[in-house]
Amino acid sequence: MKIATWNVNSLRARADRVEDWLRRSDVDVLAIQETKCKDENFPWELFENNDYEVAHFGFSQWNGVAIASRVGLDDVERTFEGQPAFGKGGKDPVQEARAIAATCGGVRIWSLYVPNGRALADEHMPYKLSWLDTLNKLAGQWITENPEAQIALMGDWNIAPLDEDVWDIDFFRDNGMTHVSAPERDAFNAFLETRFTDVVRPYTPGPKTYTYWDYTQLRFPKGEGMRIDFTLASPALAARVTGASIDREERKGKGASDHAPVIVELG
DNA sequence: ATGGTGGCAGAGCCA
């Protein structure tokens, strides 16, 4: 079984590329982030025509997460329990469309789009940290309740856990950029303390191994990217992993997402 | 090449 995660940065703008990739990638499950659409605009037929079931959670032009599967799609859950809400400028806080789960082929798949902190002192940063902390505590409960649970936390984490996960750590430090700060890394590493593991890194060692390249500044041609898309697996799922890859080729050419798909192979 | 991002509710906003 092959499972993958991909921040597509608009599913409608990327429909042809996503369909082409689905056909040649041969993945059984695809966790998608940033569909950037509401259910009413979602390209359901793209998946149905290729024999995938799909579940989507999106209610505005922002965020949006989905799971496509050809090995079953059961017990769909939109948002995680206690998922922090965010209200900009005093607006009523809402639980954003950043998390959807489904059980596919016996694996509990979570497609996650972790909030972008925007800036170290921005109000989005504590939101990001509490979002991760809440999810981690919940995920820890899942493992405690069932040590054999096969859980995949897949998506765009908007964190670069290691210095080598960005193209120039000094550039990030000197400019006070997000994704590499200690609080963000602590929030990510807390999942490792909960016994989730990054099952992709061992098969895709750095340095200079990335999953995202900014559209600006010719970042992709210059090889200046970031590793911010991860699959964290519960112990029982991690034990099944036989391989992983990052499809850097998919970042090439006109109409590419700024993120590459990340694939995990299960035995 | 004095520019050089790309989505979205089409204008700012978001990443």
Is position A92 annotated in a ligand binding site?
no
Q: Residue A41 CB closer than 7 angstroms to strand B?
A: yes
* Nucleotide with smallest C1' distance to residue A7 CA: B15
Q: Tell me the CA–C1' distance in angstroms for A167 and B3.
A: 23
CA distances (Å), origin A5, targets A134, A170, A258: 22, 29, 13
Note the pLDDT tens digit of each residue in A130-165. Answer: 999 999 999 999 999 999 999 999 999 999 999 999
What pLDDT sits at residue A88? 73
A259 is a catalytic site residue? yes
**Which 144-183 residues of chain A approach strand B with CB closer than 7 Å?**
158
pTM of the model: 0.97
Residues shown for chain A: 267
Give the pLDDT band of residue A175 (cuts 50, 70, 90): very high
How far apart CA A39 and CA A49 sit, in angstroms, is 18
Note the pLDDT tens digit of each residue in A202-242. Answer: 999 999 999 999 999 999 999 999 999 999 999 999 999 99
Percent of chain A, pLDDT > 90? 98
Is position A258 annotated in a ligand binding site?
yes
Q: Residue A227 CB closer than 7 angstroms to strand B?
A: no
* Catalytic residue, candidates A28, A52, A56, A156: A156
Cross-strand bridge partners of residue A92? none
Q: Residue A59 CB closer than 7 angstroms to strand B?
A: no
| Residue A262, both tokens | 């990340």
* Nucleotide with smallest C1' distance to residue A36 CA: B8
How far apart CA A110 and CA A81 sit, in angstroms, is 13
Across the range A116-120, mean pLDDT stands at 95
Percent of chain A, pLDDT > 70? 99
Other Cβ atoms less than 10 A from the Cβ of A253: the count is 8
Which protein residue lies nearest to nucleotide B3, measured between its Cα and the C1' atom?
A217
* Catalytic residue, candidates A113, A127, A210, A212: A113
A56 is a catalytic site residue? no
Note the pLDDT tens digit of each residue in A64-99. Answer: 999 999 999 999 999 999 999 998 766 789 999 999
Q: Residue A12 CB closer than 7 angstroms to strand B?
A: yes
What pLDDT sits at residue A92? 84
> What topology is assigned to A2-266 in CATH?
Deoxyribonuclease I; Chain A (3.60.10)
What pLDDT sits at residue A90? 67
* Nucleotide with smallest C1' distance to residue A255 CA: B6
